[in-house]
Amino acid sequence: MMNLENICKEIMKSDAEILMVAISHRTDTHYEEKEGTTSLHTKESIEKSLADASLRWVTRRSHRMLGEPLYAMAKYEKAKRITIPLGRYGIILCAVLPDSDAEKIASKLIIIAKKYSD
């Protein structure tokens, strides 16, 4: 069994511009937010975002002619959101500051996720 809390903590420590990280693996979920930030999410909205992201990831994986997807990024008014797979059965959502270098942060997240892939 993966320790999602430890993975969240490792991700939060990996970059100061990370605001929130949420992980879903099989039936477990865990999320953490940066201390001192105003939450943009409720527990229910995070769980829905994880479920939605998992469904979108299945679609991305079906486009094999492009290769295996590494991450996806969306830019919103208040944050950028990076989505990365966690093995075959998990997903990592990471909200970062809107003007952060999401590509650099995604590279760090990929390295962390590979350590815990199943």
pLDDT class of 1 with cuts at 50, 70, 90: low
Cβ atoms 89, 118 nearer than 8 A: yes
Q: What would the pLDDT profile of 20-78 be if each residue is shown by its tens digit?
A: 999 999 989 999 999 887 776 788 888 888 988 888 888 887 777 888 889 999 999 99
Q: What would the pLDDT profile of 9-21 be if each residue is shown by its tens digit?
A: 999 999 999 999 9
CATH number at residue 100: 3.30.450.30
Task: Please give the C-alpha separations between residue 6 and each of 30, 52, 65, 79, in angstroms, as whole numbers.
Answer: 10, 23, 35, 24
Residues 6+ apart with CB under 8 A from 44: none
Count: domains in the chain: 1
pLDDT class of 118 with cuts at 50, 70, 90: low
Containing structural domain, residue 53? 4-115
SS3 at position 69: coil
Cβ atoms 52, 68 nearer than 8 A: no
Mean pLDDT over 93-107 rounds to 96
Model pTM score: 0.89
Q: Which of the pair, 69 or 83, is modelled with greater confidence?
A: 83
